[in-house]
Amino acid sequence: MKLWAGRFSKEADKKTNDFNSSIATDSRMYMEDINGSIGHATMLGAQGIISTEDCDIIVKELNKIRDEITAGELMIDPDAEDIHTFIEQTLTARVGDPGKRLHTARSRNDQVATDVRMYLKKECASIKAQLEELLTVLQKKKKEYSKMVMPGYTHLQRAQPITMGYHFGAYIEMFKRDVSRLEDAVERMDVSPLGSGALAGTTYPINRAMSAELLGFSGGYTQNTLDGVADRDFCAEIACAMSLIMVHLSRFSEEIILWCSWEFKFVELDDAFSTGSSIMPQKKNPDLAELIRGKAGRVFGDLNALLTMMKGLPLAYNKDMQEDKDLTFEAIDTVRMCLTAFIPMIDTMTALPENMRKAAAGGFINATDCADYLVSKGLAFRDAYKATGEIVAFCIANNYTLETLPLDEYKKICDLFDDGVYDAINLETCVKRRGLFDI
């Protein structure tokens, strides 16, 4: 029997049941649904809304049902309308009338909203732990690569000398922001909607503060019951946080893909985190990085779908909002899968410092330092910039680098040059003077 039976004179069509069902998605929240019901029943008993005896029967059996599902002894019925229906009907089938009293002063609207928040808190903690693991790996690599000079790029053109360690440090800052962003989203989400009822609260003398405390909501309970069941901002915020994680993973993956190519050859991926070709025996492909780059679009799509789904909904609950779980869960699952592959790929990656140093020696990435050298001699920066540009043009035309250009050629363009220019444009000096070796 449906939880909403009574008003209807006949059973729903099977096609309606199949289309309406969310059990395939929300069954993963069985733990949160049962814990939420235990908290609700405990509050009902404490408030005298149900008897202490009924409360004890409900709580004892719900604990048993949870343990049986976890152990695989009780299988969730795939034909159930949703996990909430399955749990309540299983309880009622076992204990009779006390089970029918569980839903007193509660709607599926506030029940679902509570379950989703509890579940997402747990999932965000899991993603945060993975990000912290990634940060540990990146910090290790940053230290390992702290002296490896490489070209820094703008517009994918060689720009100025940096170190590989400093480059990794940029991603450390990105992922630190991701951790902070998750923490912010969880803090706003950590408020209990339980007690909101369908939309207008309840006439029963419930204790919402007690329910919130029992269920571990540190922010108390929602102040407006209409918003309590209508709000899915927290889903969008988490999907946004997941999207930005994927932006950072995708950008990093793009660079790994470039660095693995023969045109760069700055790094070598471990064989365990690479694939080959079915026809070209020489190939070693960075497929994991490419998949991560591709899966970013999936997460962006989840965020866009959430926002589009919510933008035109009147208050309070609408069935459209059943989509929130599929989209938010998929975004989290995709990020988790990508981090699971990305962390060991980076951890086992080998840098090729000779190739990076050779690339840094070309492209005139020490030209700014050459101009700054002239500034130190008293020349205005714009004049120093122009003189250095003329030197670079001469080098290109005559197959020189700034390091190999004879001093007399320097002096033909600006007589302020002396032997000190060669130390000023030394790549290690350029990096050291910017303090990058020490960061």
User: Residue holding tokens 């793009």?
Assistant: 254
- Considering Cα of 172, then 177, then 182, then 184, what sign does the dihedral take? positive
| End-to-end C-alpha distance for the chain, whole angstroms | 65
Asked if residue 3 is part of any domain, the answer here is no
Position 8 in a domain: no
Question: At 415, which CATH number?
Answer: 1.10.40.30
Residues 343 and 368 in one domain: no
Q: Helices 83-95 & 108-144, crossing angle to 10 degrees? A: 120
Rounded CA separation 242/62 (Å) = 33
Residue 346 amino acid letter: I
Same domain flag for 187 and 316: yes
Q: What is the CATH number of the domain that holds 170?
A: 1.20.200.10
Distance CA 244, CA 383 (A): 42
Residues 247 and 328 in one domain: yes
Residues 100, 175 within the same domain:
no
Picking from 72, 104, 136, the residue at the C-terminal end of a domain is 104
Residues 353 and 375 placed together within one structural domain of the fold: no
Of 116, 325, 121, residue with least CA distance to 229: 116
pLDDT for the residue 193:
98
Structural domain for 78, as ranges: 14-104
C-alpha span between 189 and 242 (Å, rounded): 15
Check whether residue 319 and residue 287 sit in a common domain.
Answer: yes
Where does a domain end: 46, 74, 104? 104
d(CA 196, CA 223): 9
Asked whether the beta carbons of 205 and 177 are under 8 A apart, the reply is: no
In a domain, 369, yes or no: yes
pLDDT tens-digit series, residues 297-309: 999 999 999 999 9
Q: Is residue 9 part of a domain?
A: no
Same domain assignment for residues 23 and 125 = no
Regarding whether 313 and 191 lie in a shared domain, the answer is yes
- For the chain, the average pLDDT equals 95
Residues annotated as catalytic (active site), given as ranges? 155, 277
- Is the per-residue pLDDT at 135 higher than 80? yes
Number of domains in the chain: 3
**Which of these, 229, 238, 130, lies nearest to 184 by C-alpha position?**
238
Pair 339, 431 in one domain: no
Note whether residue 110 is domain-resident: no
Q: What is the mean pLDDT of the segment spanning 303-332? A: 97
pLDDT tens, position by position, 149-193: 999 999 999 999 999 999 999 999 999 999 999 999 999 999 999
Q: Does one domain contain both 19 and 55?
A: yes
Last residue of a domain, one of 295, 324, 357: 357
Same domain, 351 and 368: no
Total-model pTM? 0.92
